[in-house]
Structure 1
Amino acid sequence: MTKPVAQQETYSASNLPIEKYNELDDYIATLDDKKGSLIHVLHKAQDIFGFLPKEVQLYVARKLDLPGAKVFGVASFYSYFTSNPVGRHKISVCMGTACFVRGAEKIFEELKSKLDVEAGGTTEDNQFTLKDVRCIGACGLAPIVMIDDKVFGRVKLEELDNILDEFREED
């Protein structure tokens, strides 16, 4: 059973490059209403760092003169934000009603098995992060798998290897 977000451990990344913090500082310096810009700052921080580890959340809190709990609350409330590292490619499997009825759960389970990850997990090679989402908004194409910004509709189990191969990268 998955713990509620507030009870999940936040990823720690103590050795993040100072250049990334400097880039975030430069962005924050351009803002007129720093306290009112928390979501914008978190978006920028996630763009820069790739995710929002607790060190970055606390840094943002100090820079905006806000309680750390407020920053964590916002970062954990919005599904766009992630406090854990993500893979180069984000796989979203729609679990909306139309997709679910047409087999999305089997597709999701097969992807978990093929990638050897749990929901929300990232593969060991950092290639893929797998998430289930409530609705992608293209019910006529159910079931849907989306990788990054590319939508695959009417997905069948036997197509998954070919779909993944399109995004696999050699290191």
Structure 2
Amino acid sequence: MAADRAHIPDEAEVRARWSGWRWSDANAQQAQRVIERYPPGRQASAVMPLLDLAQRQVGEETGTQGWLPIPVMEAIAQQLDMPKIRVLEVATFYTMYNLRPVGRYHVQVCGTTPCMLRGSDDVLRACYDRGMKKDATTDDGLFTLIEVECLGSCASAPMVQINDDNFEDLDYDRTLTVLDALARGERPKPGTQEPGRHTVEPLGAPTNLAAMIDENHDYRGEWRA
């Protein structure tokens, strides 16, 4: 859950821009395939994947990570024969949905205890040093920065989610490397940024209990603190 939820814009210019929004041809077909996964009369179950698909289409149309204008959510409510408020309830509950415009890269820094103890302040400092401010988009429209609660990569903390990718085992310099690559239009390697580590296996050689097959082997002296 985000530390702060954004105000949902519904100004006249938003409606002027997004009223009459429609699916692209490809996404209309995908939306129909999603709806057909559910029994007749249960099409409301498709609301979450359709909101995600709509956010991605808005992102393609705006050159950003995407968000959900009120008229877009209203169009989905009409398609699924749902009250508008029910769609809004879903969109406001899950932080995977952006309720206001964001930049091309949506930088979500985890500030929960494991990441905090492992250096999330350095991750935030790197973001600040690249001109970002919390809950704001940079003037060039490239980055939007927010601080969020647990993103589920505690074993490789600190970490940040940027659009659909996680970047883990970060420090100040590694964060700058990721951000600078994105600013150059590159796609940095997602996942752990620790050299020699592939996922969240222990640093160093993998361990197992193979030596226990033939004897009661004492591993305590071999495990890293």
Match of 2:114 in 1: 98
Partner of 2:140: 125
Q: Does 1:85 align with 2:101?
A: yes
Q: Aligned Cα RMSD in Å?
A: 3.1
Where in structure 2 are the equivalents of 1:51-66 lying within 5 Å?
51-66=67-82
Question: Which residue number in structure 2 is paired with residue 41 of structure 1?
Answer: 50
Question: CA separation in 2, counterparts of 1:110 and 1:41?
Answer: 35
Q: How far does residue 77 in structure 1 lie from its aligned partner after superposition?
A: 0.4
Deviation of 1:116 (Å) = 3.5
What count of residue pairs does the alignment treat as equivalent? 166
Q: What SS class does the counterpart of residue 132 from structure 1 fall into?
A: strand
CA contact (8 A) 1:14 1:55 kept: no
| TM-score, normalising length: structure 1 | 0.76
Displacement, 1:72?
0.6
1:15 aligns with 2:29: no
Q: Following the alignment from structure 2 to structure 1, what is the Cα–Cα distance between the partners of residues 148 and 116? A: 11
Q: Relative to structure 1, is the Cα distance of residues 137 and 60 closer, same or farther in structure 2, using a 3 angstrom cutoff?
A: closer
Q: What one-letter code is carried by the residue in structure 1 that aligns with 2:178?
A: I
Unaligned runs of 5+ in 1: none
Identity level (%): 26
Aligned to 2:180: 165
Distance of 2:153 and 2:80 partners within structure 1: 39
**Residue pair 1:94, 1:145 contacting (<8 A) in 2 also:** yes
Structure richer in helix, relative to its length = 1
Check conservation: 1:93, 1:104, Cα contact below 8 A.
Answer: yes
Structure 2: any 5+ residue segments left out of the alignment? 37-41, 59-65, 186-225
AA aligned opposite 2:131? L
Would you say the 8 A contact 1:35–1:65 is kept in 2? yes
Against the structure 1 CA distance between its residues 54 and 142, is the aligned structure 2 distance closer, same or farther, given a 3 Å change threshold?
same
User: Greater CA radius of gyration, 1 or 2?
Assistant: 2
Q: Contact 2:159–2:170 at 8 Å: present in 1 too?
A: yes
**Residue type of the partner of 1:45?**
A
How far 1:160 moved relative to its partner?
4.2
Who is 2:223 aligned against?
none
**Structure with more relative contact order (C-alpha pairs < 8 Å, separation 6 or more):** 1
CA–CA distance in structure 1, aligned partners of residues 174 and 17 of structure 2: 40
Does the CA contact (< 8 Å) of 2:161 and 2:167 recur in 1?
yes
TM-score scaled by length of structure 2: 0.60
CA offset at residue 63 of structure 1?
1.8
SS in 2 for 1:14: helix
Q: What is the DSSP-based 3-state SS (H/G/I as helix, E as strand, rest coil) of the residue aligned with 1:52?
A: coil
